[in-house]
């Protein structure tokens, strides 16, 4: 059986978990979860991938191919609910477009996710139908144009699912150009997308679960706290990192004050392993970091993605923008803001490293060499030079 609510609370309130990150045996996972779904007997349950979360490959008697994600204990239940409900709504909104989202399979009782007790606390689990297609390394302009179209379709669908307005970067809890209402957006959409916009407005009447926006707290302040907890508040590099984070926050605040496209974002849209391609259609997955934010922040990760030769970054980026702008607007102001958000994303990535260090790889892999590599990268930028000279 799964945990009852009272059992959830017992594990959540445990003051001293006995483990940081456990790994469930596949046989245990199958025994505990297979009966909760209307898929028939599971014919395979294999531990597939250790990442931020644990992934198991599942095959079932119904002939379906699935991927089971068991979230790390630190992921909040409300954030999982937001991610999975967003995916369900996107599935309908993306019909007939160049984008697709892979929703969670509902349990027999209608829930989107279940839970398992672990030595480190409650870990939630969600089963997804395995996305079809092949990874596209996006090393040529044609591939980047196609991915740009798909990314734009995803953002357009997100606007229909949950139109939002923005606030300041320092406290977005509610900057920039407000996302227009779905009915207003429909007026400028092609007929087939306009129809989805109106239907999306009706479906969005019930709001999504709450999700903290990707503002200064999420992207800079919390990562800084994680980094300092990892290296120590009195580390010689700590003053530089504080100054650099403050410089990034000031620059990002100035950028968004000019008016930027704001709405729901994928949160990790680098393309290399969050989308699979079939023809000109991409299936997007891994929405764990989806949140309200600026689209310049979301697209910055496309330009930041790995496996690009330095001399090809700009041509491939412009090809991506060509595809994106063929579906929805992305202004020159938004494009200019991508550069500061590329730096913000790198700082956020360092904070994520610091957060998972105690859970996954240990301090040895996130020691002085790791710190020196990031610090050197940050100092190469004018904002890093300023932070360095003001010490």
Question: Structural domain boundaries of the chain?
Answer: 5-95+102-129, 141-389
Pick the CATH number of 5-95+102-129 from 3.20.190.10, 2.30.30.230, 3.40.50.620, 3.30.200.20: 3.30.200.20
Residue 68 is predicted with a pLDDT of: 98
* Mean pLDDT, range 271-277, rounded to an integer: 81
* Secondary structure class of 6 (helix, strand, coil): helix
Residue 195 is predicted with a pLDDT of: 46
The fraction of the chain above a pLDDT of 70, given in percent, is 86
**pLDDT one-digit tens code per residue, 355-373:** 998 877 677 889 999 999 9
Does residue 56 or residue 168 have the better pLDDT? 56
Residue 358 is predicted with a pLDDT of: 80
Range 125-156 burial, b when 16+ CB lie within 10 A, else e: bbbbeebeeeebebeebebbbbbbbbbbbbbb
The pTM of the full predicted model, rounded to 2 decimals, is: 0.88
Whether pLDDT at 149 is above 50: yes
251 in Cβ contact with 383 (< 8 Å): yes
Residue corresponding to tokens 């019930």: 206
Residue 291 is predicted with a pLDDT of: 96
For residue 25, what are the CA distances in angstroms to 48, 130, 343?
11, 21, 39
Phi, psi of 284 (to 5 degrees): -95, 140
Of all helices (H) and strands (E), which one includes residue 274? none
* Domain 141-389 grouped into CATH 3.80.10: no
Whether pLDDT at 177 is above 50: no
* Secondary structure class of 104 (helix, strand, coil): strand
**pLDDT one-digit tens code per residue, 192-203:** 554 454 444 544
Residue 52 is predicted with a pLDDT of: 92
Residue 274 is predicted with a pLDDT of: 80
* Secondary structure class of 96 (helix, strand, coil): coil
Does residue 30 or residue 200 have the better pLDDT? 30
Residue corresponding to tokens 């606030």: 167
Would residue 286 be called left, alpha or beta, if left means φ above 0 and alpha means ψ between -120 and 50 degrees? left
**pLDDT one-digit tens code per residue, 324-348:** 999 999 999 999 999 999 999 999 9
């Amino acid at each position: 059986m799964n945990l009852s609510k009272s059992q959830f609370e017992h594990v959540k309130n445990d003051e001293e978990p006995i483990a940081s990150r456990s790994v469930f045996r596949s046989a245990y996972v199958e025994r505990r979860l297979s009966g909760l779904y209307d898929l028939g007997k599971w014919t395979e349950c294999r531990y597939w991938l250790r990442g931020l979360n644990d992934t198991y490959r599942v095959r079932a008697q119904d002939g379906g191919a699935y991927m089971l994600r068991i979230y790390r204990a630190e992921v909040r239940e409300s954030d999982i609910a937001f991610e999975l409900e967003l995916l369900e709504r996107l599935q309908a909104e993306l019909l007939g477009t160049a984008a697709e989202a892979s929703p969670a399979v509902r349990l027999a009782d209608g829930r989107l996710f279940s839970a398992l007790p672990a030595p480190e606390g409650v870990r939630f689990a969600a089963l997804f139908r395995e996305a079809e297609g092949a990874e596209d390394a996006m090393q040529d302009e044609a591939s980047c144009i196609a991915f740009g179209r798909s990314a734009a379709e995803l953002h357009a669908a997100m606007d229909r699912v949950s139109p939002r307005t923005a606030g300041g970067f320092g406290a977005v809890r509610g900057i920039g150009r407000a996302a227009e209402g779905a009915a207003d957006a429909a007026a400028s959409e092609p007929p087939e997308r306009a129809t989805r916009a109106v239907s999306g407005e009706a479906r969005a009447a019930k709001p999504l679960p709450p999700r903290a926006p990707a503002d200064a707290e999420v992207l800079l302040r919390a990562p800084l706290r994680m980094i300092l907890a990892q290296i120590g508040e009195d580390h010689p590099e700590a003053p530089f990192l504080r100054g650099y984070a403050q410089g990034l926050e000031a620059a990002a605040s100035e950028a968004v004050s000019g008016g930027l496209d704001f709405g729901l974002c994928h949160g990790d849209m680098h393309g290399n392993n969050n989308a699979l391609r079939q023809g000109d259609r991409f299936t997007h997955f891994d929405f764990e970091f989806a949140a309200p934010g600026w689209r310049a922040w979301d697209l910055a990760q496309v330009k930041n993605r790995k496996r690009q030769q330095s001399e090809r970054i700009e041509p491939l980026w412009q090809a991506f923008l060509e595809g994106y702008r063929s579906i929805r607007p992305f202004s020159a102001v938004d494009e200019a803001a991508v550069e500061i958000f590329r730096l913000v994303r790198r700082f956020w990535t360092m904070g994520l490293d610091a957060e998972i260090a105690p859970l996954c790889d240990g301090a040895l892999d996130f020691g002085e060499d790791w710190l020196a590599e990031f610090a050197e990268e940050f100092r190469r930028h004018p904002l890093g030079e300023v932070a360095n000279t003001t010490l």
